[in-house]
């Protein structure tokens, strides 16, 4: 065991990746190596070790141990084109760490308008204090995007699909323009992961995922990762080490365990999500279904062109109902919990107000009725899709006359 081969498909990779014999000692999943201090055999060996700052060498707890190296290597092998992966204590820490690794005071960062809300906050808060100017752009307006670059623009922050509203940006096009202008491209690839969207092969330089979601898979651990080719991996590593970023071996083992079944869970939740989305599309209470995997949904063509997989997360927009009706609908759901996050085995529902978290693009989307604006995001878990549909049906019936 166990290097993956180039011709292995992703499910096989997810089973084999990162399980080097020197890290596992031949148990199947990598054991938990706890430790801050590594003892050297002699002062000469300690002196010698100072020459290296590489993955896979014991030095001190912050640089990890086999538990962390194994997960990082597995994630690298699941992100086509990556040479290395840094682990962070949350997805948000990965986003902040990745942005800080490519930006300096005085730089301009272009940020897709519908990114995850904390990404927006990092860009307009922490990075502003750090002397970086964030400019938000509408991912559908390619001319305005190209015009937003100037000679201080060094990086572009993308996410696919956009959080909550789920529009799929044309990443090959956006990243090609960035490259032409000498800027690097970062993408939040949490939704599809490297299994469903080969971000680096579609022109991005750094692919970031919240492992809290699909890799963890059981709503009981927080972690994040950023994967990149050699040049950007070195920057990620240097910045993460400067910030003292590290992850616990216990959490890492949970994520490694989740990773082995991730392809199966992604497949199942995608299938169920599409079934639920198709059902919602027929409902008179629903004005729009925002699910890249669904024909007729915004971004479906780009999803079909660029992605090899989906996941269980999508949104829909109510047809003119009030906020009180939306709250009542969510309260009547029995199988869907009300809560943040997603990618676990259980289904969740989250009302959202998109207009509050965008500044460069319209909500409702162009061409929609003004009253069709209240959204609900569904994270479809591993329950039977027909039970979930029955639950949604009951909740619609309950609010009919409210």
Ligand X SMILES: *Cc1c(COP(=O)(O)O)cnc(C)c1O
In degrees, rounded to 5, the angle at the alpha carbon of residue 372 between the alpha carbons of residues 371 and 375 is 130
C-beta of 222 vs 290, nearer to ligand X: 222
Could you confirm whether 391 is annotated as catalytic?
no
CB of 202 to ligand X, least distance (A): 17
Structure tokens at 295: 């024909």
- Tell me: cis bond preceding 120? Omega within 30 of 0 counts: no
Options 88-96, 171-179, 257-265, 391-399: segment touching ligand X (CB under 6 A) = 88-96
* Residue of the chain from 73, 138, 188, 285 that contacts ligand X (CB under 6 A): 188
Q: Choosing from 62, 128, 231, 305, which is the catalytic residue?
A: 62
Sheet holding 313-318, edge to edge: 286-290, 313-318, 375-379, 348-352, 337-338
Largest separation between any pair of C-alpha atoms in the chain: 79
Could you confirm whether 213 is annotated as catalytic?
yes
The torsion of the CA quartet 356, 295, 200, 345, rounded to 10 degrees, works out to 70
* Residue of the chain from 92, 185, 269, 297 that contacts ligand X (CB under 6 A): 92
Is 169 among the residues that bind ligand X (CB under 6 A)?
A: no
Residue number with the smallest Cβ distance to ligand X: 91
242 C-beta neighbours (distance < 10 Å), count:
11
Q: Choosing from 107, 138, 170, 188, which is the catalytic residue?
A: 188
CB of 166 to ligand X, least distance (A): 11
Options 10-18, 85-93, 297-305, 385-393: segment touching ligand X (CB under 6 A) = 85-93
How far apart CA 174 and CA 381 sit, in angstroms, is: 32
Distance of CA 248 to the CA centre of its chain: 20
Could you confirm whether 188 is annotated as catalytic?
yes
Structure tokens at 52: 């290296």
C-beta of 213 vs 265, nearer to ligand X: 213
Residue identified by tokens 């047809």 is 319
CB of 90 to ligand X, least distance (A): 4
* Residue of the chain from 68, 190, 269, 321 that contacts ligand X (CB under 6 A): 190
331 C-beta neighbours (distance < 10 Å), count:
12
Q: Choosing from 116, 120, 145, 170, which is the catalytic residue?
A: 116
Main-chain dihedrals φ then ψ at residue 192, nearest 5 degrees? -95, -25
State which of positions 196-235 bind ligand X (CB under 6 A).
210, 212-213, 222, 224
Which helix (DSSP H) or strand (DSSP E) does residue 225 occupy? Answer: strand 224-228
Active site residues per annotation: 62, 116, 188, 213
Q: Which residues form the interface with ligand X (CB under 6 A)? A: 90-92, 116, 159, 163, 188, 190, 210, 212-213, 222, 224, 341
């Amino acid at each position: 065991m166990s290097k993956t081969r180039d011709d292995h498909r992703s499910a096989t990779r997810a089973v084999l990746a990162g399980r080097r014999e020197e890290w596992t000692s031949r148990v199947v999943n990598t054991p938990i190596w706890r430790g801050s201090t590594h003892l050297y055999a002699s002062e000469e060996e300690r002196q010698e070790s100072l020459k290296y700052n590489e993955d896979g060498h014991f030095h001190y707890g912050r640089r990890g141990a086999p538990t962390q190296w194994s997960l990082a290597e597995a994630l690298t092998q699941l992100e086509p084109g990556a040479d290395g992966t840094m682990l962070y204590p949350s997805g948000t820490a990965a986003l902040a760490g990745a942005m800080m690794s490519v930006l300096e005071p005085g730089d301009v960062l272009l940020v897709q308008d519908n990114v995850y809300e904390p990404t927006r906050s990092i860009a307009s808060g922490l990075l502003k204090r750090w002397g970086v100017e964030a400019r938000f752009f509408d991912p559908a307006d390619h001319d305005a995007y190209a015009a937003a670059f100037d000679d201080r623009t060094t990086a572009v922050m993308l996410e696919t699909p956009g959080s909550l509203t789920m529009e799929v940006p044309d990443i090959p096009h956006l990243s090609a323009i960035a490259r032409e202008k000498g800027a690097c491209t970062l993408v939040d690839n949490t939704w599809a992961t490297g299994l469903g969207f080969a971000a680096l092969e579609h022109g991005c330089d750094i692919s970031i995922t919240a492992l809290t979601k699909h890799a963890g898979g059981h709503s009981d651990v927080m972690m994040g990762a950023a994967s990149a080719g050699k040049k950007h991996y070195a920057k990620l590593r240097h910045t993460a080490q400067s910030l003292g970023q590290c992850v616990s071996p216990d959490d890492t083992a949970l994520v490694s365990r989740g990773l082995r079944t991730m392809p199966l869970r992604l497949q199942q939740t995608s299938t169920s999500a599409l079934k639920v989305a198709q059902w919602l599309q027929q409902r008179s209470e629903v004005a729009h279904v925002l699910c890249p995997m669904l024909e007729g949904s915004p971004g479906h063509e780009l999803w079909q062109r660029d992605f090899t997989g989906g996941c269980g997360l999508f949104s829909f927009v109510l047809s003119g109902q009030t906020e009180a009706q939306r709250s009542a609908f969510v309260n009547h759901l029995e199988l869907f919990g009300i809560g943040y996050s997603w990618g676990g085995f259980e289904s969740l529902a989250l009302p959202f107000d998109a207009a509050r978290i965008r500044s460069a693009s319209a909500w409702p989307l162009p061409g929609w009725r003004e009253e069709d604006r209240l959204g609900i995001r569904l994270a479809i878990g591993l329950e039977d899709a027909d039970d979930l549909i029955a639950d949604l049906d009951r909740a619609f019936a309950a609010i009919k006359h409210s």
